[in-house]
Structure 1
Amino acid sequence: MVRLYHRVKARIATMPFGLSIGSLAVLVTAVAVAYRYEGTTRDTGPCRAIPGDSSWPTGDTWAALNATLGGKLIASMPIAAPCHTTLFGQANAVFNPDECATLRDHWFFPETHLASSSSPMAYAFSNNSCNPFLAPAAPCTIGSLAVYTINATGTADFQHAVRFAKRHNVRLVIRNTGHDYLGKSTGAHSLTVWARHMKAMSVINYHDKTYTGLALKVGAGVEVIEAYRYASSQGLVVVGGNCPTVALAGGFTQGGGHGPLASRYGLSADQVLEWELVTGIGEVVTVSATRNSDLFWALRGGGGGTFGIVSSLTVKAFPDTRTSVASVTLLNNGTNTDSVYSAVASFIRDTLPSLVDAGAFVVWIAAPFGFMIAPAIAPGLSSAELDDLMRPMTLGLEKLGLEFQYSSAQYPTFLSSYEALQETATWNVSDYNVGSRLIPRELATQRTENLVEALRYIASQTLMSGVSYNLARGNISAETVAVNPYIRSSLFSVTVGTPIDYTDWPLTKIAQDKLTHDLLPSLEKLTPGGAVYLNEADFQQPDFQQAIYGDNYGKLRDIKKKYDPHDVFYARTAVGSDEWAENSNGRLCKVRG
């Protein structure tokens, strides 16, 4: 064992990790992997290699990859390492209670995790391996983190990653900001490609057979708020998401992408004009309506992490416009519950359709504490026009004798309205298990009482939100994109969250199972043959192929086989993932196909 330590230490000391997170991190990770897997050499068979296998790359091989990349290889270090007295089974030199206390205070905010090349961000996919909320004596291990990550700056880095993973039978993970409720951006025993720092942006004049006009081209790592601000500086808007730190070109758009401008222009996937990416055979391709059109279709809603590694995205840009917002707060005091849900029913049936038909995007929340609209955002409308659309609801609340708070405001640009909302928004992550169900307009308006009964059942136990839109206004044919067509007939997507308990891993699993087997089924019973929104799906979703992708799944699988014939790319619930399984120690193995 001592000889092993010195052999690894000597090898790592020669590696030019120019962009690594520190020599100590590199050393302890490599040594820990060696300690953990010594003596487990085996033939991998239909499985991906893991540390300890004879086929796992040697230290010299990793060093050669790092040299080829110009020092962009990062050895994973759990961000909660300062919270534990041991790290990878050894005494922990970075243990620091003060740093740990600061980390805990900021743990639930995306910014805490964005700077990490390996943080799962979503606790369910951490394997509880290095938990900052456990006692210092609790072990801190590499768990489900990648072994190494490439801090990519261009397509050449992507190509090196694909070729290396294929040559050495190593699991490859695509990571951008890390936002992903389904655990696609992390994976045990993997090499990860990290695209976060690819931040180029430009406005271009685009022309092809489908569109002529202004467009925004963004690098893979550009976040929604960065795209919004850059577009606004040019007098433009682009269709992005609610959360400012989600990457526009990543799984957000590749999974469909709804957001504040959806009722005016459609989904983010509907706006795509061009992708640049590296395929599973390491080829750099440009895809559009006229080039590699099958892959162009697949990437527009067929899910991220499985067809290729996107380096850039070009989307339609539209003239900026005034934007109004409105909010409602209605508290459940324990004696007015029936009246609250009577108001919810009236809102869904009588007010919500008119709002989204006028171009508003409405996020509403139901929970044990009551009901909120937070917010209704209406690009192109004045606050007076938005007030008129909201009036049926506010009058209904008054007639029911309910106390409520209502406010509205008008802003000169979309960005100014969005940034005003950010001042009061708390974009937490990592504190809920998440799943969703799409609710057809017909169900919402014609069988409202049945729907509200199910919503009340869920909201009496946990938090849920309704993300509401009218996608017909985008004038997009459902056949031109891979998004499940079911979303086009939906009035809203119900997103349900069950709380995570960081001090009780089994209890968190129970909460996840309640979501899968109790709460979401109450909506599934009302929507037989229905669907879920890909980006907020339950990673345990039964029959995910149909529920997420609908009848598009077979065509998507054929396209994946064409551009990724060796199955280099795998991600949970992604197209083709049903042919693989992770065993108890995280090893990825082929099970069919």
Structure 2
Amino acid sequence: MVLAASNLPTATDTTSSDIANSGSNCRCLFGDSCWPSASEFSKLAKQVSQPLLNPLPPASPCYPLSRPSGDCDAAQRLWTDPAWRANQSGAMQSANFETFVFRNGTTSACFIDTTLGIPCGQGSVPVAGVDAHSDADIQAAIKFAAAHNLRVVVKGNGHDLSGRSTARGSFVIWTHHMKNIAFHAQFTPTGAPKSEAVAQAITLGAGIQWQEAYNAVNIRNRVLVGGLSPGGTVGAAGGWVLGGGHSVLSPTFGLGVDNVLEFTMISSNGTRLTANAHRNTDLFFALRGGGGGTYGVVTSVTYQTHTNLPLISAVFSATPSGSQTSRVLQTLLTDFMKALPGLSDAGWGGTAFLGADATGNVALSGSFVLFNGTMVSANQSTSPFFSAVNRLASTAGNLTFTTSLTPFDSFQTWYTAMSAQGANVAGSNGALGSWLLPRDVIEKQPEHVAETLLPLTGLVMGLYAGGAVARVDPNAMGLNPAWRTTLLHTIFATGWVEGTPVDVIDSLVDQVRQNMTNLRALAPDSGAYFNEASLVEPDPLKAFFGDHRTTLKAIKRIYDPIDMFVVPEGIGSDDFDDALVCKV
């Protein structure tokens, strides 16, 4: 919803006085005396192509006495719809990042459950911003934010598992509507000789989502290394790639950052920059894995594409029951760990899950793809694991095991079928932990790895590395070098319902912290994926960026000397307080 600047939320609703921000070392937040006046916002409005944003929490239509009118029935019906959330400047895919907890433990939030009797507050939703449709819009927004020393966040689609694209009392640059797509029969990076032209490349604007990107390349019989999510709403040229960007196709073609040919970015002084292997090479290093929302506002990414060849899909589910469930699950998970190196070498990529199925029983399941594979090679490479589970089923009893190998004529056909089976999972509240497990640890200690993973709630195990990922020089870009020795990206999560007391949430997060200690101990010298990681890491910069963190910080000083772009646990965040408002 777009409102006039004079309709900003009142200071009593969203004042940021709970965040200490006095002095010249602090950002100006809504509610502070330094916050721009209505006339100053009016001047900005004349410089941009769209009406200014005054983002609202997505549940606000259900509070007609305190908020503008809207369709509460639609909000309730679409609360978990990722596309509905992506299309709102004030919504996040994870609803807990729309809330704000004060130092005294009370919460400002706008809950969809109105029966809780809690007033609709602004929470951590930005209060003003620019709906960017062009580079010029972003340049005007950046210059305005710099002139007023505002706390700035950059948001595309809200697929942000760490809350980095929202902040209380902030000014948002919303890139969701930057929907330009350009396909290049031949693409020569700026400054490169024509001999380095790359055939069949595509340039995506900052607001393009993976569903749109896949459709664009599919009509040319090409495929992109990209993300998977319900509705395909993850951004294709934003935080996904800036943090690294994993994919089921990564074992074949590398990570997202391995496929980037060029970026364009607006820096904190409003300059439009091109970064590639020939221009601004230090920035090119940083943007390939050094974290989103950190160096500037990326406006486009150019990727190489690949031939859209057939693939084989492998789906399995193993569900034990009865008194021996724990023992069988341990054996199942151990057998899976033993099979992973062979599956990786064969070219499989995909995801396995350990958690409750529809019947409430804990199951080990998975969905994997073999790009440009045959049914013969698929059967041969999956046989060791499937045979081991069948042997276990014949001896353990009470183990239901189903498998299927299905050929698809293209990635797009598989992706469409997979998406149709996905459920809407947006709008939930939770916290997660993750760690990258190296191949040598899994090969040498499969039983111990399985034993450590088994207690983790909602375990997701991504086979997104190995193969092409492992063949890239770990020092070629800002991405955490741990990715190059990784075999498995492990994630677990906890969650809670709206209105859960803060002390209960804190206890759940404490359990995440303890589980992270156990998980990290498997490979203490590895790291975590910046885009899907714990917010309670004891040494986050080391965990997310490894030995590149010092170089990345030096690059940030060049392109963002005023520290306009700072995100939780990102490069430069260690120079600020916990709220990322005041320098320390």
Q: CA RMSD in A?
A: 2.2
Q: Distance in 2 between matches of 1:147 and 1:565?
A: 25
Secondary structure of 2:314's aligned partner: strand
Q: Distance in 2 between matches of 1:537 and 1:136?
A: 31
In structure 2, the partner of 1:132 is 112
| The one of 480, 486, 503 aligned to 1:484 | 480
Contact 2:288 2:478 in 1 (8 A): yes
In structure 1, the partner of 2:211 is 225
Q: Distance in 2 between matches of 1:330 and 1:57?
A: 59
Instruction: Give structure 1 stretches of 5+ with no counterpart.
Output: 1-19
Contact 2:221 2:308 in 1 (8 A): yes
In structure 2, the partner of 1:370 is 362
Which amino acid is the alignment partner of residue 590 of structure 1?
K
Q: Distance in 1 between matches of 2:124 and 2:289?
A: 27
In structure 2, the partner of 1:94 is 69
User: Residues 427 and 372 (structure 1 numbering): CA distance in 2 closer, same or farther, change over 3 Å?
Assistant: farther
- CA apart distance, 1:378: 1.3
In structure 2, the partner of 1:72 is 51
| The one of 163, 171, 192 aligned to 1:191 | 171
User: Residues 387 and 107 (structure 1 numbering): CA distance in 2 closer, same or farther, change over 3 Å?
Assistant: farther
- CA apart distance, 1:228: 1.1
- CA apart distance, 1:137: 3.2
Which amino acid is the alignment partner of residue 317 of structure 1?
T
Which amino acid is the alignment partner of residue 466 of structure 1?
M
- CA apart distance, 1:383: 3.5
Structure 1, 406-415 or 378-387: larger mean CA deviation: 378-387
1:421-432 equivalences in 2 (<5 Å): 421-431=418-428, 432=430
In structure 2, the partner of 1:330 is 318
In structure 1, the partner of 2:412 is 415
Q: Distance in 2 between matches of 1:412 and 1:223?
A: 23
In structure 2, the partner of 1:343 is 332
Q: Deviations over 1:77-129 (max 9, x none)?
A: 21101233543xxxx4537xxx4454334322312311111213323322251
Q: Distance in 1 between matches of 2:136 and 2:16?
A: 33
In structure 2, the partner of 1:453 is 451
- CA apart distance, 1:581: 2.0
- CA apart distance, 1:341: 2.0
Secondary structure of 2:363's aligned partner: strand
User: Residues 493 and 189 (structure 1 numbering): CA distance in 2 closer, same or farther, change over 3 Å?
Assistant: same
User: Residues 547 and 399 (structure 1 numbering): CA distance in 2 closer, same or farther, change over 3 Å?
Assistant: same
Q: Distance in 1 between matches of 2:21 and 2:301?
A: 42
Structure 1, 410-419 or 393-402: larger mean CA deviation: 393-402
Q: Deviations over 1:137-175 (max 9, x none)?
A: 311111211111211011111111111111101111100
In structure 2, the partner of 1:3 is none
Q: Distance in 2 between matches of 1:36 and 1:288?
A: 41
Q: Deviations over 1:35-78 (max 9, x none)?
A: 76599999543211123333211110011111111343111221
Answering whether residue 28 of structure 2 is matched by residue 49 of structure 1, we say yes
Secondary structure of 1:590's aligned partner: coil
Contact 1:356 1:468 in 2 (8 A): yes
Instruction: Give structure 2 stretches of 5+ with no counterpart.
Output: 101-107, 394-398
Secondary structure of 2:341's aligned partner: helix
- CA apart distance, 1:200: 1.2
Number of aligned residue pairs: 554
Contact 2:154 2:174 in 1 (8 A): yes
Q: Deviations over 1:268-287 (max 9, x none)?
A: 00111100110111110111
Q: Distance in 2 between matches of 1:578 and 1:75?
A: 30
So what's the TM-score if we normalise by structure 2? Answer: 0.90
In structure 1, the partner of 2:529 is 533
Q: Deviations over 1:416-435 (max 9, x none)?
A: 11111111112413433222
User: Residues 276 and 323 (structure 1 numbering): CA distance in 2 closer, same or farther, change over 3 Å?
Assistant: same
Q: Distance in 2 between matches of 1:234 and 1:36?
A: 49
In structure 2, the partner of 1:169 is 149
Contact 1:118 1:149 in 2 (8 A): no
Secondary structure of 2:468's aligned partner: helix
Aligned residues: percent identity? 28
Q: Deviations over 1:418-473 (max 9, x none)?
A: 11111111241343322210111111111111111111121xxx201100134442
Which amino acid is the alignment partner of residue 402 of structure 2?
Q
Q: Distance in 2 between matches of 1:185 and 1:221?
A: 14
Contact 2:248 2:349 in 1 (8 A): yes
Contact 2:351 2:460 in 1 (8 A): yes
| The one of 248, 255, 258 aligned to 1:270 | 258
Q: Distance in 2 between matches of 1:157 and 1:38?
A: 27
Contact 1:276 1:312 in 2 (8 A): yes
Contact 1:83 1:136 in 2 (8 A): no
- CA apart distance, 1:136: 6.2
Which amino acid is the alignment partner of residue 137 of structure 1?
G
In structure 1, the partner of 2:581 is 588
User: Residues 85 and 483 (structure 1 numbering): CA distance in 2 closer, same or farther, change over 3 Å?
Assistant: same
In structure 1, the partner of 2:544 is 548
User: Residues 36 and 299 (structure 1 numbering): CA distance in 2 closer, same or farther, change over 3 Å?
Assistant: closer
User: Residues 27 and 489 (structure 1 numbering): CA distance in 2 closer, same or farther, change over 3 Å?
Assistant: same
Q: Deviations over 1:8-53 (max 9, x none)?
A: xxxxxxxxxxxx5356xx65534x2377659999954321112333
Which amino acid is the alignment partner of residue 547 of structure 2?
D
Answering whether residue 492 of structure 2 is matched by residue 496 of structure 1, we say yes
Contact 1:274 1:313 in 2 (8 A): yes
Structure 1, 422-431 or 400-409: larger mean CA deviation: 422-431
Q: Distance in 2 between matches of 1:389 and 1:129?
A: 50
Contact 1:362 1:373 in 2 (8 A): no
User: Residues 55 and 372 (structure 1 numbering): CA distance in 2 closer, same or farther, change over 3 Å?
Assistant: same
Q: Distance in 1 between matches of 2:217 and 2:455?
A: 42
Q: Distance in 2 between matches of 1:547 and 1:34?
A: 39
In structure 2, the partner of 1:256 is 244
User: Residues 94 and 478 (structure 1 numbering): CA distance in 2 closer, same or farther, change over 3 Å?
Assistant: same
Which amino acid is the alignment partner of residue 140 of structure 2?
H
Q: Deviations over 1:500-528 (max 9, x none)?
A: 2213142233222311x211211111112
Secondary structure of 1:234's aligned partner: coil
Q: Deviations over 1:195-246 (max 9, x none)?
A: 1111111221123466632211111111111111111111111110122211
In structure 2, the partner of 1:317 is 305
1:459-470 equivalences in 2 (<5 Å): 462-470=457-465
In structure 2, the partner of 1:434 is 432
Answering whether residue 200 of structure 2 is matched by residue 214 of structure 1, we say yes
User: Residues 470 and 42 (structure 1 numbering): CA distance in 2 closer, same or farther, change over 3 Å?
Assistant: closer
Q: Distance in 2 between matches of 1:553 and 1:570?
A: 14
Q: Distance in 1 between matches of 2:21 and 2:557?
A: 28
Secondary structure of 1:63's aligned partner: helix
- CA apart distance, 1:565: 0.5
